[in-house]
């Protein structure tokens, strides 16, 4: 939060003075603001919407904060109290309730002084203490890096915000004032704070509909990251304001005249685009400033929704509209509650003119977002609708909190949902759903329901069946095709866009891996126990209790999962269960040979077939335990594992195929064939007639001589099936050579 000096002295002073202040009568603690403090006088003047007794309580909180921060200064040399006073001033401008204003005044006392949460609760009540606690950083916890600390602090703020939205309003006002007063901060720290603001806090402000604050945070951050570019661009905009004054006046007069002619009572005013939005457009489209013609826009504010559409029609009769540049955010509001009609017109001299048309209530929500709930309690229903949407978003954050353990991962998920570009699509029943731009059919399925996402196998976009990775466009109607036994594919993680979908997929895969690893680990442990001459049910319960106590695991299933994922050795656990130690010997002194572990190849994520050698039933195989991944199956003669088998023999276990697996397995074959017309078709027909499927095919394009090489990945049931396929293909006259291919 705000930078300060001399915290130790301030803390001692705070602890010495706080009890007297807390016990003093309100009149003694407050008094009138001194005439030599105009900032405090202006702040008190903005509190007129509160009751007199509430104003007294706010002034008492001011004295409390001033005493607690006594002796502390900001890097600029100003008394530290100027910072919480400015933040509380923003709350007063938004007409927030007395608890929020007090929390803004006290937001740094727990972090920078010795004042405790219990002390704040005793003096100003538990709700204020909870707000202040939600705003305090986690300074007492040591983090490995700044990024980890940033992620955990942001996570704590969002969780507090989910419980009470007022927390984030104070936090955003705090960040705004810090950006406004960072001239004394060293340049690299200014840039770091500005980058963090653009990455996290500005998108949060936008997500909550705080449009004015959003633009301020962006422009201030831009000025700290690129100070020279910001100054040059500001001068260019100022010069353009003078150069284009005549054009702007003509457009403004034309719109006002057209509204009057149509009998529409409207407020019409011009607005200048923010420096950051101009800079971003120049960067993204590689334009010079002179090429950015739409640095000014116009706003038309009318009394009700029907009049918005009348004004829209009148404008299109004044200037020609640009095709495809009309957006109706009234019928389909943005996720942050924003509503307006947007259109781009061709104005005088071919100048593009952007116009927004909205009602008074929509204008309040567009400027202040969720804060409009406190500012304009008698405004239109859009404010209540925004509150509902915000609560729904915050609830999704709470759900995310329960399934994501790592703070950095949590921050990654939330960032995805913060960026504003959205597509609006329809369910088969006509319900509108907003998703981030770039969302796929899988994202839509998870937005409908987690179970729909888990079981989706395809999607129909506007009645046409499309692949799951297909990106959605505005206006698409989506229908999800599900199958009862389908489940998420790890490949989905490479193209899903929403945090919700990514989180649900990862959670499912992790659970599935743990379940599969548990079964594998139990089989491996039972195998070791039998080799030591003990049937698994004969292991005493006391022995299991001892192993669980020593390992820190809570259940036997966790031990099994650790073995299956390679985090524990089955031989070590077996010997500890039977002898209480980890000595590498059998119980009776004679080591029995381990029977090979039987696998089907269909066990799921706990057992995987190595892509380098692609083993199939009938191949002699061996398993490698890989930490955190489970068992990886290779063929005995796989060249990739030769060195590892000799250097780390303890990581390898004997495995064998189950007699009847009932599954098809991928295998690579390479065919050298005569380079002539129709050869590919004849080979493909031969593969099909042998009862095999083609999974993938490539052809050596560089070889233009007599022969060409064809590379197939085909599906076979076992080694015998593969031999039959190869014999069948050798009968084709054009095939010169054929064999199994390995990496």
> Rounded to whole angstroms, how far apart are CA atoms 438 and 440?
6
**How many Cβ atoms from other residues are within 10 Å of residue 176's Cβ?**
20
Residues with Cβ within 8 Å of 484's Cβ and at least 6 positions away in sequence, in order, are 455
Position 603 scores a pLDDT of 53
Position 309 scores a pLDDT of 93
User: What would the CATH number be for the domain defined by 387-504?
Assistant: 3.10.20.30
Position 604 scores a pLDDT of 55
Catalytic residues: 111-112
Position 325 scores a pLDDT of 82
CB 364 within 8 A of CB 450: no
Position 311 scores a pLDDT of 93
pLDDT tens per residue across span 501-530: 888 888 887 777 666 667 777 887 887 787
Helices 52-68 and 7-23 meet at what angle, rounded to 10?
Answer: 150
Domain positions in the chain are 7-229, 233-378, 387-504, 506-657, 665-740
Position 401 scores a pLDDT of 60
pTM of the model: 0.57
Stretch (H or E) spanning 735: strand 735-740
Helices 146-163 and 382-403 meet at what angle, rounded to 10?
Answer: 130
Alpha-carbon Rg for the chain, nearest whole angstrom, is 34
Q: What is the mean pLDDT of each run of 10 residues along the chain (743 residues)?
A: 42 37 38 66 88 92 92 87 92 90 92 88 90 68 56 68 79 91 87 87 82 90 92 85 76 90 90 84 80 78 92 91 86 80 86 88 78 52 59 66 60 60 80 82 91 89 87 87 82 83 81 72 80 81 82 79 72 72 46 59 64 86 70 84 74 75 82 87 88 84 75 89 92 90 77
Position 395 scores a pLDDT of 66
670 by DSSP, 3-state: which?
A: strand
User: What would the CATH number be for the domain defined by 233-378?
Assistant: 3.30.460.10
422 by DSSP, 3-state: which?
A: strand
Position 429 scores a pLDDT of 84
Stretch (H or E) spanning 456: strand 456-461
Give DSSP secondary structure letters for 225-270: HSHHHHHHHHHHHHHHHHHTHHHHHHHHHHHHHHHHHTT---EEEE
User: What would the CATH number be for the domain defined by 7-229?
Assistant: 1.10.3210.10
Phi, psi of 346 (to 5 degrees): -95, 105
pLDDT tens per residue across span 99-109: 999 999 998 89
Position 257 scores a pLDDT of 92
The 8-class DSSP code of residue 78 comes to: S
CATH topology for the 665-740 domain: Alpha-Beta Plaits (3.30.70)
CB 518 within 8 A of CB 564: yes
The 8-class DSSP code of residue 222 comes to: H
Position 142 scores a pLDDT of 46
CB 9 within 8 A of CB 56: no
Position 378 scores a pLDDT of 44
């Amino acid at each position: 939060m705000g930078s300060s000096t001399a915290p130790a002295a301030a803390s001692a002073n705070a602890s010495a003075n706080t009890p007297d202040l807390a016990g003093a009568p309100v009149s003694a603690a407050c008094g009138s603001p001194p005439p030599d403090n105009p900032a405090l006088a202006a702040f008190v003047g903005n509190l007129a919407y509160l009751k007199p007794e509430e104003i007294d309580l706010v002034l008492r909180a001011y004295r409390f904060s001033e005493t607690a921060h006594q002796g502390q200064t900001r890097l600029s040399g100003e008394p530290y109290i100027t910072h919480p006073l400015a933040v509380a001033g923003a709350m007063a401008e938004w007409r927030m309730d007395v608890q929020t204003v007090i929390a803004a005044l006290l937001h740094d006392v727990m972090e920078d002084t010795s004042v405790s949460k219990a002390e704040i609760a005793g003096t100003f009540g538990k709700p204020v203490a909870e707000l202040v606690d939600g705003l305090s950083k986690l300074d007492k916890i040591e983090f490995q890096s700044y990024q980890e600390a940033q992620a955990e602090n942001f996570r704590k703020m969002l969780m507090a915000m989910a419980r009470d939205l007022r927390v984030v309003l104070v936090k955003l006002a705090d960040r705004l004032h810090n950006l406004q007063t960072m001239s004394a901060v060293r340049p690299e720290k200014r840039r770091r704070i500005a980058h963090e603001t653009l990455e996290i806090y500005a998108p949060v402000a936008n997500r909550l509909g705080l449009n004015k604050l959003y633009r301020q945070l962006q422009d201030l951050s831009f000025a700290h990251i690129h100070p020279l570019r910001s100054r040059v661009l500001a001068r260019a905009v100022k010069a353009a304001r003078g150069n284009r004054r005549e054009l702007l006046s003509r457009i403004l007069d034309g719109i006002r005249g057209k509204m009057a002619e149509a009998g529409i009572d409207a407020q019409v005013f011009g607005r200048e685009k923010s420096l950051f939005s101009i800079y971003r457009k120049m960067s993204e489209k590689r334009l010079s400033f002179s090429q950015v013609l739409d640095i000014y826009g116009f706003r038309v504010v009318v009394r009700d929704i029907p009049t918005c559409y009348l004004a829209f029609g009148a404008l299109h009769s004044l200037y020609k509209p640009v095709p495809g540049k009309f957006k109706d955010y009234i019928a389909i509001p943005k996720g942050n509650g924003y509503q307006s009609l947007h259109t781009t017109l061709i104005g005088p001299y071919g100048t593009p003119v952007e116009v927004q048309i909205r009602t008074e209530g929509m204008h309040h929500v567009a400027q202040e977002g969720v804060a409009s709930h406190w500012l304009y309690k008698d405004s239109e229903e859009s404010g209540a609708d925004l509150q509902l949407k915000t609560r729904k978003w915050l609830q999704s954050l709470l759900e995310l909190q329960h399934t994501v353990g790592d703070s950095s991962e949590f921050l990654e998920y939330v960032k995805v949902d913060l960026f504003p570009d959205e597509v609006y699509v329809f369910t088969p029943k006509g319900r509108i759903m907003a998703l981030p731009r770039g969302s796929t059919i899988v994202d839509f399925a998870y937005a409908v329901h987690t179970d729909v996402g888990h079981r989706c196998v395809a999607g129909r976009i506007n009645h046409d069946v499309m692949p799951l990775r297909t990106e959605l466009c505005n206006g698409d109607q989506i229908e999800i095709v599900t199958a009862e036994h389908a489940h998420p594919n790890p490949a989905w993680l490479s193209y899903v866009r929403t945090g919700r979908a990514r989180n649900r997929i990862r959670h499912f895969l992790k659970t599935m891996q743990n379940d599969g690893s548990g079964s594998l680990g139990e089989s491996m442990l039972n195998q070791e126990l039998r080799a030591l001459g003990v049937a698994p049910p004969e292991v005493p319960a006391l022995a299991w209790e001892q192993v669980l106590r020593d390992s820190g695991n809570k259940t036997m299933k966790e031990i099994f999962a650790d073995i299956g994922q390679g985090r524990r050795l089955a031989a070590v656990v077996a010997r500890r269960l039977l002898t209480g130690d980890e000595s590498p010997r059998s119980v009776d002194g004679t080591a029995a040979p381990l029977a090979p572990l039987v696998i089907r190849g269909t066990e799921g994520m706990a057992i995987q077939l190595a892509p380098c050698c692609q083993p199939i039933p009938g191949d002699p195989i061996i398993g490698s335990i890989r930490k955190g991944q489970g068992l990886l199956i290779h063929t005995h003669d796989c060249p990739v594992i030769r060195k590892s088998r000799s250097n780390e023999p303890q990581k390898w276990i004997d495995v064998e195929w189950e007699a009847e697996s009932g599954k098809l397995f991928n295998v690579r074959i390479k065919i050298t064939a005569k380079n002539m017309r129709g050869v590919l078709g004849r080979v493909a027909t031969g593969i099909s007639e042998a009862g095999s499927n083609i999974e993938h095919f490539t052809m050596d394009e560089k070889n233009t001589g007599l022969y060409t090489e064809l590379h197939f990945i085909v599906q076979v049931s076992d080694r015998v099936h593969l031999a039959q396929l190869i014999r069948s293909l050798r009968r084709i006259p054009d095939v010169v050579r054929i064999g199994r291919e390995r990496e």
